């Protein structure tokens, strides 16, 4: 399995009431909003929720946020007009989406954040991203022998990205022989991973490791290393994506490890939480955390994948 059992953090204190009767779990319309459907991680969410919709008999409307906060605001307003029962939201901006979430809640819609926190949501389900960052950078530090210069490929202002960097920096700061010589923000995609890594490698000719906040950016960094004909540089990401598995199995790749998530399982669990809330069962804690598991070149053969 890509993720372990659920942990719980951050008590739920919203005080908002969902406009359904106690014990009423009937859900007819679900809206799923994700940051970017070109990312296989979010495509996996869509696939699993389509399967769930078929099994449970509800209508699923999936919207691609295209990394655009304004677009996601419009999508929530459209969901309100369409009379959604539930919105599962993976926000482009965790705080910036808050006003739109409040509009949805005022319309009686149950809003559950998935993968990234959304200000004002009734509940949330996400990976333990601090742990994911920690696992990724522990693997990187071990691979480069506990010393060397490292680059950080950061991402957009959402909670999972920030938490992964936090976890990674806990490891790097505690390792005396490691120096972070570059830290830049991208758009969580392969294109910016490639462009940022290309520029940062040019500016820092003596680098041993790169941590990227997700697999697409890690794979962009891997390509940058290959295009620059550099050797002796290892990359770690986060996700456990199918593309990362291919890279881990390719001896030409510089990708060493990635903590695996379970995007489909995460979306389904968020839907289950929404159903529980609509049945009058508020979660004791606001956010459920799913544990990641490290996958590296040595263990990839045993990894079941998404």
CB 261 within 8 A of CB 233: no
Q: What is the pLDDT of residue 36?
A: 93
List, for residues 225-245, the tens digit of each pLDDT value: 999 999 999 999 999 999 999
Domains annotated for the chain, with CATH where assigned, are 3-127+262-292 (3.40.50.2300), 129-260 (3.40.50.2300)
Tell me what pLDDT residue 24 has: 54
Cα separation, 272 vs 269, in Å, equals 5
> 3-state DSSP helix/strand/coil percent for the chain, to nearest 5?
40, 25, 35
CB 105 within 8 A of CB 120: yes
Tell whether the torsion through CA atoms of 205, 208, 212 and 218 is positive or negative.
Answer: positive
For the entire predicted model, the pTM comes to 0.84
Q: What local confidence, expressed as pLDDT, does residue 221 receive?
A: 98
Two tokens at 245? 């598995």
Residue 95 is classified by DSSP as: T
d(CA 34, CA 131): 22
Please tell me the predicted confidence (pLDDT) of residue 26.
84
The DSSP 8-state label assigned to residue 304 in this structure reads: -
Give the residue ranges of the chain where pLDDT is below 70: 1-25
């Amino acid at each position: 399995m890509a993720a372990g059992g659920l942990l719980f953090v951050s008590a739920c204190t919203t005080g908002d009431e969902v406009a359904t009767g106690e014990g009423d779990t009937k859900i007819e319309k679900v809206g799923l909003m994700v940051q970017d459907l070109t990312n296989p991680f979010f495509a996996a969410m869509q696939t699993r929720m389509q399967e769930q919709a078929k099994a449970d008999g509800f209508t699923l409307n999936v919207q691609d946020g295209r990394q655009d906060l304004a677009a996601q605001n419009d999508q929530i307003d459209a969901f309100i007009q369409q009379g959604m029962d539930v919105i599962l939201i993976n926000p482009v901006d965790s705080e910036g989406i808050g006003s739109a979430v409040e509009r949805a809640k005022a319309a009686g819609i149950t809003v559950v954040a998935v993968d990234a926190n959304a200000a004002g949501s009734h509940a949330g389900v996400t990976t333990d991203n601090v742990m994911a960052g920690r696992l990724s950078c522990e693997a990187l530090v071990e691979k480069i022998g506990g010393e060397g210069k490292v680059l950080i490929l950061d991402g957009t202002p959402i909670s999972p990205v920030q938490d992964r960097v936090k976890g990674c920096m806990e490891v790097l700061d505690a390792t005396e022989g490691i120096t972070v010589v570059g830290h830049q923000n991208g758009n969580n995609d392969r294109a910016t991973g490639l462009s940022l890594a290309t520029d940062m490698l040019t500016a820092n000719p003596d680098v041993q490791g790169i941590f990227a906040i997700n697999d697409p950016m890690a794979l962009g960094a891997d390509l940058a290393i290959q295009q620059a004909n550099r050797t002796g540089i290892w990359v770690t990401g986060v996700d456990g994506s199918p593309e990362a598995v291919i890279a881990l199995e390719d001896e030409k790749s510089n990708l060493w490890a990635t903590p695996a998530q379970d995007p489909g399982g995460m979306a389904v669990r968020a839907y289950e939480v929404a159903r529980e809330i609509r049945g009058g069962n508020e979660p004791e804690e606001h956010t459920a955390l799913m544990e990641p598991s490290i996958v590296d070149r040595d263990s990839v053969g045993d990894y079941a994948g998404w």
